[in-house]
Structure 1
Amino acid sequence: MSVIAELSVPGEDFGLGQFLDVVSGIAIELESMVPMGETAIPFFWVHNSHRDTFTANLTDQDVVNEISEIDTLENKTLYALEWNGETDQLFQAIQQQGAQVLSATGTPREWEFELRFPSHESLSDFQRYCNQAQISLNVARIYNPTRPDSGPWFGLTPIQRETLLLAIERGYYEIPRQCTTLELAEELGVSDQAITERLRRAIVTLVSNTVQFSTTETPEM
């Protein structure tokens, strides 16, 4: 039975995060990891105002083979990174346990992850690996997405729920769109980048706790 862990690691304990260092306080969003042989290609969203710094930093890294611009959406750009993943112990642990990266956001100081593991045993093995590799894990939450125990809002935090409801009320998901993330940010008193991340995490959480329910296991009542 799969299990989801929400955890964070210090920036210095995450090899990939170290050379993704951009302007202090600016977050990078890890969109997905696509398996390619023995490694995986990470896809990153970067705010357009910092894209030049981001690509310049990567160019100077020996473990980076190539960085490609994939797409642009509103005020951020999606990049694909070909790199030598063997140097990153955290990603080695994630791959060895067959875990799926549901979301990841980081700054030079800290990275926050939402990881889906095939079982509690694989999560325990992951924690044991990180402990032996001296990777500091701060586990905030562990839950099973196939059970109706994720809370009254399908696992959404109050902030995620508030942001998602406001986006719907203001017509953010209408066609044509009736408001922007900047307008939502101004109403909630945060940055538009924070709004984008809240909405993304909310959608991932909803999908994980609803449409991704197991078809072979019966939830405990």
Structure 2
Amino acid sequence: MSTIAEFRLSTTEMALADTLEYVPDATVRLETAVSRTLSGLWVLDAEREAIESAFEADPTVESATLLVRTDEGLLYDVEFAEDARRLCDELLAEGGSLLEARGADGSWQVRMRFRDREKLCRTHDRLLESGVNIDVRRVTDLDETTATHTRLTPEQQEALSAAFELGYFEIPRRISMEELADELDISHQALSERLRRAYETLVDAELQPTNGSS
């Protein structure tokens, strides 16, 4: 059964410690749709000149290219140094999916989805063995109790949670149906069916009280 874990890592152990010290008001956020390569990085609340100077001085950054500027912030294509890439490999070694990673005030707030608690524990132990301190703040299992409460099956609950976390419902979408199916390690058809049945269940649950009172 899928497990969602939220934890904190120091920027000195992950990446961009110098950048966030140089531009203390900045917040950085990894683009989850491409998180497996650690390439898309949003920078919020920072001027372009300041953040690019910080990137140049930061030993964890090999290169940074501005892709787009929006009202939300600056999106960079960042190539991280080997040590930072190694930590990413440690995080993803057990098949976990990086849902969110946000850096500010000297720490990274990370949210990941694992297939079960055992894989989360393996990741935790792997990081500790590598000398990385990981502060687990919250663990949530998408178990049968959760599914019963929502009237969704565990598989439907997992699919909806992943779709929401990875931006499938956003406009424009941050992840396609095919990419989402790959994240869940199921076929496109299976994912489409799970989401369709989940929609039906939620709509029925929402309309049922109204129908019952008429």
TM category, shorter: 0.5 to 0.7
Higher share of residues assigned helix: 2
Match status 1:44 vs 2:76: no
Deviation track 1:136-184 (CA, whole Å, cap 9, x = no partner) reads 222121123465629x99xxxxxxxxxxxxxxxxxxxxxxxxxxxxxxx
Deviation track 1:2-42 (CA, whole Å, cap 9, x = no partner) reads 3210111222222x13243242243211222444xxxx233
Aligned position for 1:6: 6
* Residues 27 and 34 of structure 1, relative CA distance in 2, 3 Å threshold: closer
Aligned position for 2:16: 17
Which segment drifts farther, 43-52 or 95-104? 43-52
Letter in 2 for 1:13: E
Aligned position for 1:124: 121
Q: CA deviation at 1:102?
A: 0.7
Aligned position for 2:91: 94
Q: Any conservation in 1 of the 2:25–2:46 contact (CA below 8 Å)?
A: no
Aligned position for 2:165: 204
Q: CA deviation at 1:129?
A: 1.2
* Residues 17 and 122 of structure 1, relative CA distance in 2, 3 Å threshold: farther
* Residues 34 and 75 of structure 1, relative CA distance in 2, 3 Å threshold: closer
Q: Any conservation in 1 of the 2:23–2:54 contact (CA below 8 Å)?
A: no
Structure 2 regions of 5+ residues with no counterpart?
151-163, 170-179, 195-214
* Residues 86 and 110 of structure 1, relative CA distance in 2, 3 Å threshold: closer
Match status 1:109 vs 2:70: no
> Percent identical across equivalent pairs?
17
State how many pairs are aligned. 162
Deviation track 1:42-81 (CA, whole Å, cap 9, x = no partner) reads 3111126433222112123455332122222214111111
For 2:103 and 2:84, the matched residues in 1 are separated by: 19
Aligned position for 1:143: 140
For 1:112 and 1:63, the matched residues in 2 are separated by: 18
Letter in 1 for 2:49: D
Aligned position for 1:73: 70
Structure 1 regions of 5+ residues with no counterpart?
154-202
Aligned position for 2:27: 27
Q: CA deviation at 1:206?
A: 8.9
Letter in 2 for 1:56: S
Q: CA deviation at 1:131?
A: 1.6
Q: Any conservation in 2 of the 1:85–1:92 contact (CA below 8 Å)?
A: no
Letter in 2 for 1:3: T
Return the TM-score normalized by structure 2: 0.60
CA-based RMSD of the aligned residues comes to: 3.6
Q: Any conservation in 2 of the 1:89–1:133 contact (CA below 8 Å)?
A: no
For 2:55 and 2:62, the matched residues in 1 are separated by: 9
* Residues 135 and 45 of structure 1, relative CA distance in 2, 3 Å threshold: same
Letter in 1 for 2:118: E
Could you say what secondary structure the match of 2:52 adopts?
helix
